[in-house]
Amino acid sequence: MRFDERFLDEIKSRLRPSDVIGRTVKLRRQGREYVGLSPFTKEKTPSFYVNDDKGQFFDFSSGKNGDLITFLQETERLSFAEAVERLAAEAGVPLPAVDPHAAEQEKKRLGLGEWLETAAQWFEAELRRPVGQAAREYLEKRGLPQADWARFRLGFAPGGRTALKDYLITKGARPGELVDAGLLIAPEEGGQPYDRFRDRIIFPIADARGRVVSFGGRAMDPQARAKYLNGPETALFHKSSMLYGLGEARKILAADAGAAGGSLIVVEGYMDAIACQRAGLAAVAPMGTALTEEQMGQLWRHHPEPILCFDGDRAGRQAAWRAIDRALPLLQPGKSFRFALVEGGKDPDEVLREQGAAALRQQLSQSTPFVDALFTRERDLETLDTPERRAGLRGRLMHAAAAIADKDLAQAYRDDLRQRLDALFAPPPSAAPAYASRPGQGNGGRWRNGRGAPAHWVSPTPTAEGRAAAKSLATGPEALPAALAHYAVADPAVLDDHLEDAFIAEGFGDPALSRLTQELLRAKVEAEHLDSALLARHLASCGFSTLLTDIDRAAAASGAPFLKEDVSLEAARSQWSRAFTAMTRLAALEESLAAAKRDLGGTSAGAIDLMRLKGERDALKRAIRTGTFWVDLES
């Protein structure tokens, strides 16, 4: 019988580990934990710890650790199912009814798991054979010595198209099973399945109990289309809920439990996780995707405040900001995250190789609380030199606090963020009022009414920057292109059918918007999930804050119906697409007119064609200028 995580969590929530284990091991309280003599070894000094908050036991004399189920398996030699049934009866939780179909599926899962384990052993052996020489040299060059290969079960997949397949078939496997396990690829057009991993260093991916459920592969060929390749979704492997290195990280956490307790660190890749674990730091990595809600839940089951450590480059910062948005609704008292950015644009693996374990531990010890990271992100999004931008910062922070589902914690965040805002915007103690300037005190302007009291502003002498800003305001983006761009930022999904359209990259017909729309398209293509808030922050971080403000102003004056609050999403997208089509038609007419003028040649046919194109162009421009275009769009 297979038990789902919800059923197991229900059992564990009803039983205190110290009560159950205390019937076998004599325990005494020591701080927040219980300590006793190891049931696995003969010792005189207690090194066996039980932590009810974590639901775990830690035995330093034997190196064993785990939950109540593991304890019964180890001490009474019970199977997993037997241990669960024993604890369920004690907790008063009825066992789920036996489902014949589920039993058959579980049998199939166990079979796939056996082939994955056999494949892992074969990959490990191939790394040590002559065919794995280049892979061995690469690992040595990356500072990962042979002594650590077995610890992380590293392997190598040779370049042959069916090398693994041929080996497993000789062991009795069927190709269909190996496809289901994610080891082979079945061509869509038909034909024989072939090995998924070829000419790659192999990283086995194991579940929390150490069972291999999939693999990741690092290409040896620098020209390979995918540098890293993960196995596909299978009955055993679900990317959104798996964390690479979790089993090894739990061992390190267990070893730290007897002292002050260690940190659980989330890094970006396999090599980073391995680097941290070699430095004695408990680290895991998601499966090449943004951290998911399921993975966050797993992290909190093992540590109340994991550290999210991202590379110190721009992509690393963006990954940290995405994690903030996804985690906000899930925060609870006692469940949060800290953040650490590795210095110098490096990743943890580089720091370990270049500076050593001590440097890596020191950098990761300087982590930032969640609320600090949130405040810094929003504060640094744009310069806060106007009341509007300062009000924007306040609004963004209050909106973020409102996203927290726990009401008490949301209020605590609002209070904390308001205090930070007050401190940020408080004038320096020695600062004089803005109207106290006197003639001759720089170029800052002054208040004057002839009696020394504030009455009207006397402008300073215009600067080059001021003249440029005035020119920008006078020559802002055109209304319709601005409306199209404004909506595309607010609803990036509207671009899905137009990613190859050069007209978007050209600024929807307005050269002033071309750089912004090029960056918009690039972000849309590169990001796996791109919502409006993330896109707006990304564009602001690229220096488009002022232009976005100009776009908002021009779009608001455009009268575009797809920007109205009462229009449905479906209607807005339809209207946007029709407006986009009209603008592309206008651009095409302008090009055709220019070509017709060049090729006129004095013929009457050419003149007629020129007049027709000019008439259609002018009619469309007039409809846009007078607003009748919007009426037609809403009909």
| Span 197-208, pLDDT tens digits | 999 999 999 987
pLDDT tens profile 262-294: 789 999 889 989 988 988 889 999 986 678 888
Domain boundary among 190, 213, 237: 237
Read off φ and ψ for residue 207, nearest 5 degrees: -80, -175
pLDDT tens profile 555-607: 887 788 888 877 888 888 888 888 888 888 777 777 777 777 766 555 555 66
CB 25 within 8 A of CB 76: no
- The reply to whether 482 and 600 lie within a common domain is yes
- The reply to whether 526 and 610 lie within a common domain is yes
Residue among 346, 353, 348 at smallest CA distance from 365? 348
> What single DSSP character describes residue 240?
G
- The reply to whether 112 and 79 lie within a common domain is no
- The reply to whether 498 and 622 lie within a common domain is yes
What number of residues does the chain have?
A: 635
H/E stretch holding 263: none
Once rounded to an integer, what is the mean pLDDT over residues 174-178? 92
Q: How far is CA 44 from CA 29, 36, 48, 62, 170, in A?
A: 17, 10, 11, 14, 51
- The reply to whether 140 and 69 lie within a common domain is no
Residue among 424, 267, 429, 473 at smallest CA distance from 351? 267
Q: How far apart are CA 127 and CA 433, in angstroms?
A: 72
Of 464 and 195, more confident: 195
Which pLDDT belongs to residue 379?
92
- The reply to whether 71 and 216 lie within a common domain is no
Residue 433 has pLDDT above 60, yes or no: no
Residue among 18, 66, 83 at smallest CA distance from 302? 66
Distance of CA 149 to the CA centre of its chain: 29
Of 452 and 96, more confident: 96
- The reply to whether 336 and 231 lie within a common domain is no
Of 261 and 227, more confident: 227
User: For 216, what's the count of Cα atoms within 13 Å in the CB-facing half-sphere?
Assistant: 20
Q: How far apart are CA 328 and CA 403, in angstroms?
A: 6
Residue 17, domain extent: 5-91
Q: Which residue has the tokens 């999939």?
A: 214
- The reply to whether 80 and 122 lie within a common domain is no
Q: Which residue has the tokens 């998924």?
A: 196
Whether 521 is covered by a domain: the verdict is: yes
Find the CATH number of the domain harbouring 126: 3.90.980.10
Find the CATH number of the domain harbouring 66: 3.90.580.10
Q: How far is CA 105 from CA 206, 213, 414, in A?
A: 20, 15, 49
CB 272 within 8 A of CB 349: yes
Q: Which residue has the tokens 């009825």?
A: 94
Q: From the CB of residue 274, how many other CB atoms can be counted at a distance below 10 Å?
A: 26
Work out whether strand 338-341 and strand 307-310 pair parallel, antiparallel, or are unpaired.
parallel
Once rounded to an integer, what is the mean pLDDT over residues 455-478? 46
Residue 483 has pLDDT above 80, yes or no: yes
Residue at 563: amino acid letter: L
Angle, helices 357-365 vs 270-278, to 10°: value is 100
Residue among 587, 585, 582 at smallest CA distance from 633? 582
Which percentage of the chain shows pLDDT scores above 70?
A: 82
H/E stretch holding 146: none
Of 308 and 432, more confident: 308
Once rounded to an integer, what is the mean pLDDT over residues 350-356? 83
Whether 425 is covered by a domain: the verdict is: no
User: For 171, what's the count of Cα atoms within 13 Å in the CB-facing half-sphere?
Assistant: 18
Whether 565 is covered by a domain: the verdict is: yes
Q: For 356, left (φ over 0), alpha (ψ -120 to 50), or beta?
A: left
Q: How far apart are CA 34 and CA 58, in angstroms?
A: 10
Once rounded to an integer, what is the mean pLDDT over residues 343-363? 79
The alpha-carbon radius of gyration of the chain (Å, integer) is 32
Which pLDDT belongs to residue 126?
96
Whether 243 is covered by a domain: the verdict is: no
Average pLDDT, rounded, for the chain: 81
pLDDT category at 348 given cuts 50, 70, 90 is: confident
- The reply to whether 220 and 324 lie within a common domain is no
CB 487 within 8 A of CB 576: yes
CB-based contacts of 11, cutoff 8 Å, min separation 6? 84, 87, 88, 91, 93
Whether 447 is covered by a domain: the verdict is: no
Residue among 505, 522, 495 at smallest CA distance from 577? 495
CB 84 within 8 A of CB 69: yes
Residue at 289: amino acid letter: T
Read off φ and ψ for residue 30, nearest 5 degrees: -140, 95
CB 532 within 8 A of CB 490: yes
Domain boundary among 376, 395, 424: 376
Which pLDDT belongs to residue 591?
73
Q: How far apart are CA 145 and CA 282, in angstroms?
A: 19
Find the CATH number of the domain harbouring 332: 3.40.1360.10
Q: How far apart are CA 551 and CA 507, in angstroms?
A: 12
- The reply to whether 210 and 331 lie within a common domain is no
Per-residue burial over 507-526, b if 16 or more Cβ lie within 10 Å, else e, is: bbbbebbbebbebbbebbee
Whether 595 is covered by a domain: the verdict is: yes
- The reply to whether 565 and 603 lie within a common domain is yes
Whether 611 is covered by a domain: the verdict is: yes
Residue among 197, 191, 188, 190 at smallest CA distance from 168? 197
Q: How far apart are CA 127 and CA 139, in angstroms?
A: 10
Residue at 321: amino acid letter: W
Of 618 and 49, more confident: 49
Domain boundary among 237, 269, 304: 237
Residue 453 has pLDDT above 60, yes or no: no
In a 3-state reduction of DSSP, which class is residue 91?
A: helix
- The reply to whether 275 and 139 lie within a common domain is no
Which pLDDT belongs to residue 435?
38
Question: Given CA atoms 366, 370, 373, 376 in this order, what sign does their dihedral have?
Answer: negative
Please give the structure tokens belonging to residue 208.
């929390």
CB 338 within 8 A of CB 367: yes
Name the domain count of the chain: 4
CB 508 within 8 A of CB 521: no
Work out whether strand 48-51 and strand 56-59 pair parallel, antiparallel, or are unpaired.
antiparallel
Whether 412 is covered by a domain: the verdict is: no
